[in-house]
Amino acid sequence: MPGWWQYLPQPLQKALAGARRARDLSAEAEALAGPTPAPEPRHWPNRPTQAAVEDPWGRAGPPLAPTARVEQPFVFDFPHGSNLIAQPRAGFGLHSFTQLRLLADACEELRLPIELLKREIRALEWDVVPRDAAEPGPAQLAQARERLAAPDGWQPFDVWVNLLVEELLVTDAVAIYPNLQRGGQLGELEVLDGATVRPLLDRRGRTPAPPLPAYAQVIKGQVVGHWDREAFWYLPYNRSIRHPYGRPPAELVILTVNTAIRRATGRLAHYTEGNIPEALVGLPADWSVNDITAFQEYWDALLAADEQRLHRMKFFPVGGTGQPPVHEFRRSDGETVVLDEWLLRVGCWAVGVSPAEFGLVPGGGLGGAGFAEGQADIQYRMGLGPITQYLKGIFDQALAGWGLPAVAFDWVSMERQENALKQAQVDEIRLRSGVYDLGYVQEREGIPEEHRPEAAPAPTRPTFQLAADGGAAPAFFRQAGWEGYG
């Protein structure tokens, strides 16, 4: 017993002694009652759960149940009821076709590159060639040239292309009505105003497939007809996944275009309304407002018949004595061309024209004399190349629809001539080095036998005989002291 046991009362000692001798039946009771269920954990607001303790980075959780099940995904999240809107380009947060045309016409920094690219495309030569491994006859090639000479049946090819490229660069809403004939064959290709066309969408946001209508034409705010994809060609050049319309250059640089228009408007006001006076001339301080007004009217009347009156001086009272001061305004931004050049560069880049076409080239250094020589390739990659390929696809589709699937459209451009010049230079080098002979080049170019020159001595590879005495060695090696190499 512990030492403190003797200090307890006798009845308490007897009770405690009996309790120590009692048998512990807690194990048997737990076996009869079964395992005790663990209490459910209580989630306190600021106390981490067991899952959070085991996974401190958290979990993504189960996905949300779909509210509507679809077999195929949507192309994009188009506005609800977009086919009920008649106005083209409305409902997608885009600028209207009217705004795009006004911007392209009012901004000379954008209109000039557009006109330049149109002229360059009109100046390109074209022809028809066999498609891939097909062998069309002369009659098919002649028929293809005749149909393409006037795609709409009455306008020349370059005029027709000019209409199409204008729509492409201003509204990017190229619309062609192919005039389907009986049997599904194409007729004349009429270029329509793409600003009157409203593309329709199916349940997934795509252009509906035939026989469902794909396009609606809106005239004076009213829908006048529907057409499917085969009976109507709507071909935006710079398409976006967010809407069925194209994005023309004016929309790509909308802020720069607005800056250029406002700058031109301010400059025009400077030369028409005289909102910036040439100078302020001080008058005696004791003159009243009526005196100044009377003198101003007198002065203006003296210059009323002069065009320069628009830049007249202004008078104002000053204090003190002596000669009245004259304050002239400085001309800085309004009289420089740095901003004009930058605006024109942005317009060129948006359209796909090299700024060098307008004389905007560096003045010296690495970008000086040799800068303009490399602009032809840049011009082709920026504007001519992509747009001519786009037009080629339209003409190839038209030729197939005209029953000429074995014929393909081809541009006879400067690019091919440059490639021919490079190939001729390579041939000259390889002929001189003896890689192949002249007959190989003639066979590759398909030159007929009657047009080939008579047998000419084949060029031989130059050889050098290096002798130890230096007598037979070339003068260059003798001067360099290399006579000893044999």
**190 in Cβ contact with 164 (< 8 Å):** no
Q: Is the domain of 438 the same as that of 468?
A: no
The pLDDT of residue 63: 84
Which residue would you say has higher pLDDT here, 21 or 61?
61
Query: In percent, how much of the chain has pLDDT > 70?
Result: 67
Within a domain: 313: yes
The pLDDT of residue 452: 74
- Taking Cα atoms as reference points, which of 416, 428, 359, 360 lies closest to residue 388? 416
Query: Alpha carbon of 221 to those of 1, 213, 392: distances in Å?
Result: 110, 19, 34
Within a domain: 347: no
Q: Which residues contact 281 (CB under 8 A, 6 or more apart)?
A: 313, 314, 315, 316, 324, 326
The pLDDT of residue 32: 59
Q: Is the domain of 419 the same as that of 485?
A: no
The pLDDT of residue 366: 46
Q: Is the domain of 429 the same as that of 451?
A: yes
Within a domain: 390: no
Within a domain: 63: no
- Encode pLDDT of 189-199 as tens digits: 999 999 999 99
Q: Where are the alpha helices (DSSP H) in 273-337?
A: 289-302
The pLDDT of residue 137: 84
- Encode pLDDT of 236-256 as tens digits: 999 999 999 999 999 998 988
Domain boundary residue among 275, 310, 336? 336
Using the 8-state DSSP alphabet, how is residue 384 labeled?
I
Q: How far apart are CA 398 and CA 128, in angstroms?
A: 12
Place of tokens 């149909």: 147
The string over 397-410, giving b where at least 16 C-beta atoms fall within 10 Å of a residue's C-beta and e elsewhere, is bbbebbebebbbbb
Within a domain: 134: no
- For the chain, what is the domain count? 3
Within a domain: 76: no
Residue 369 pLDDT > 60, yes or no? no
Domain boundary residue among 309, 336, 363? 336
Residue 332 pLDDT > 70, yes or no? no
Domain coverage including residue 429:
413-455
Domain boundary residue among 336, 351, 370? 336
- Taking Cα atoms as reference points, which of 378, 384, 372, 383 lies closest to residue 413? 384
3-class SS of residue 7: helix
Residue 212 pLDDT > 70, yes or no? yes
Q: Which residues contact 478 (CB under 8 A, 6 or more apart)?
A: 470
Q: Is the domain of 451 the same as that of 471?
A: no
The pLDDT of residue 467: 45
